[in-house]
Amino acid sequence: MAVSSCPCPKYVAALSSSFECRSDPSGTGQPGHHGRSSSSSSSSRLGAASFLGSGLGTGGCGGGMSSMIFRFPPNFVRQLSVKARRNCSNIGVAQIVAASWTNNQPAGSTPAAAAAAANAAAAASASASSLPVAEFGDEVAVVDGVNDNGNVQFGELTTDPRDVKSFLSSDGSISIHAGERLGRGIVTDAITTPVVNTSAYFFKKTAELIDFKEKRRQSFEYGRYGNPTTVVLEEKISALEGAESTVIMASGMCASTVMFMALVPAGGHLVTTTDCYRRTRIFIDTVLPKMGISATVIDPADIGALEAALDQNKVSLFFSESPTNPFLRCVDIERVSELCHRKGAIVCIDGTFATCVNQKALALGADLVLHSATKYIAGHNDVLAGCISGSMKLVSEIRNLHHVMGGALNPNAAYMIIRGMKTLNLRVQQHNSTALRMAKILEAHPKVKRVYYPGLPSHPEHHIAKQQMTGFAGVVSFEIDGDLMTTIKFVDALKIPYIAPSFGGCESIVDQPAIMSYWDLSRAEREEKYKIRDNLVRFSFGLEDFDDLKADVLQALETI
């Protein structure tokens, strides 16, 4: 808490009784503005002169900063959980204070109660090793349980994030409460999840460390291996996906590459699809072969090609986006999973375009679902992250390699994604509605040659999309009836969307893939290998008013 000067008496009187300051110009404990006796003020100061220092300023009510005396709530010390302080020692003091105290002492409590609380806290620390332990996924934290005044609603974490569905039935409620309402690794009264900014966690005694190493004790150890804030995000995503476990990483590409290396052995084989995020394809084509890993590339809807690849190779992994980028092709997840499982192959679906609200890949039979959480999950064009959800066994294999490779998500980014997910369900509904209505308008427009959107009957996998999706998300790809320059003219005439990569945020974004993602290739190469034509536009419809977006797109089309 930064204070520049002592507030005036009127302001002091307006402060809450649970946190007070007063002027003591002499610094000797004599009565100040509140008229307290010397003995009373002395005990409430808690060594304010030494805490604040004598050279922090001389302005204010004539006494300088050293005369500012703070009286914390009587139960302040007791409210600081022993284990919260141990495992989260680097949280900012302001965050701990905001998260941990509740002044519910009886009226008339004296400052002496604070000293008694301090003694109680010291006694509690002596028996800390006997406190209950909770596990979440394969990352764990020590949790105190409900403290003695009942301020913490839940003192234990669920062992399975899917348990949240026992009392929450909709994705809207789950995205708000999962990982938080049922308890978390930081014992706190705060509604929002605190940010734990620490790179390491300490052990009080070597015996505790040995118990941890020999798996008799569970705790965090190092920031790359887990963080209480990040774990809340993982639990929230697991609940939405119906997964046993989720691992979160620094970006979607980080999640993809670590997943490939963890699950496909050296000399192994994988199957993927033609339409794909280009950086993922580059990794499959150029990096995996150095490990002896080969790949078969098939059309997303070509079941016969998949069967042939499974028969001719020992396939370790099938990986595809669904819908794909940028043509929004859809894989029949249930059918593909059935075929792959017969041959012992793992199925991983990148559901970034679909979102975990519109499509439940695990429920359809996939083993893993991957997201670039940068997009719809975070939803505000302000953070990078990637995640993989699935069984504890498979996610643990990926997590183990992730701990070696690095790519840990910053806890501040995790907090931003947790906050963004509170509105995930509402945002996705708006994206779905706007994109479907705009896709129909674009398809009917004479200056648009073709529209790619799984919600349209004209889409080649519309029948599959209807079966496995509840909505078709917010990205619409379409081809302008014209050449490269005509398409550039259309894009430049748009006033609302930003010309940028990425999608899934509140702001609309538009790009021309031939320029944004494939400009380094010749026109013939990008059309022959990737089917990317000069007139292709990818439009991510944001949360702006539909009528505004409609008017903007129509006026831009009129310019060409």
pLDDT, tens digit (0-9, with 9 covering 90-100), for 428-459: 999 999 999 999 999 999 999 999 999 999 99
Residue 163, pLDDT score: 64
Q: 314-346: b or e for each residue (b if 16 or more CB lie within 10 Å)? A: ebbbbbbbbbbbbbbbbbbbeebbebbeeeebb
Give the residue ranges of the chain where pLDDT is below 50.
Answer: 1-159
Output the CA–CA distances (angstroms, integers) from residue 262 to 136, 236, 409, 486, in the order listed: 22, 24, 19, 45
Cβ neighbourhood burial of 124 (10 Å; 0-12, 13-18, 19+): middle
pLDDT, tens digit (0-9, with 9 covering 90-100), for 41-98: 333 333 333 333 434 343 444 444 434 444 444 444 444 444 444 444 333 433 433 3
CB of 178 within 8 A of CB of 236? yes
> What type of residue is 436?
L
At how many degrees (to 10) do helices 484-493 and 546-558 cross?
Answer: 140
Residue 199, pLDDT score: 95
Residue 301, pLDDT score: 94
Say how many C-beta atoms besides its own lie within 10 A of residue 458's C-beta. 11
CB of 362 within 8 A of CB of 241? yes
Which residues, at least 6 apart from 531, have a Cβ–Cβ distance to it below 8 Å?
274, 275, 327
Say how many C-beta atoms besides its own lie within 10 A of residue 555's C-beta. 12
Residue 495, pLDDT score: 98
Distance CA 182, CA 192 (A): 13
Residue 106, pLDDT score: 40
Residue 81, pLDDT score: 43
β-partners of residue 136 are 139
- Reported as type and span, the H/E element at residue 369 is strand 368-371
Distance CA 111, CA 105 (A): 11
Query: Which residues have a catalytic role annotated?
Result: 224, 277, 350, 375
pTM value is: 0.72
What six digits make up the tokens of 493? Answer: 């005439």
379 sits in the region (left: phi over 0; alpha: psi -120 to 50; else beta) called: left
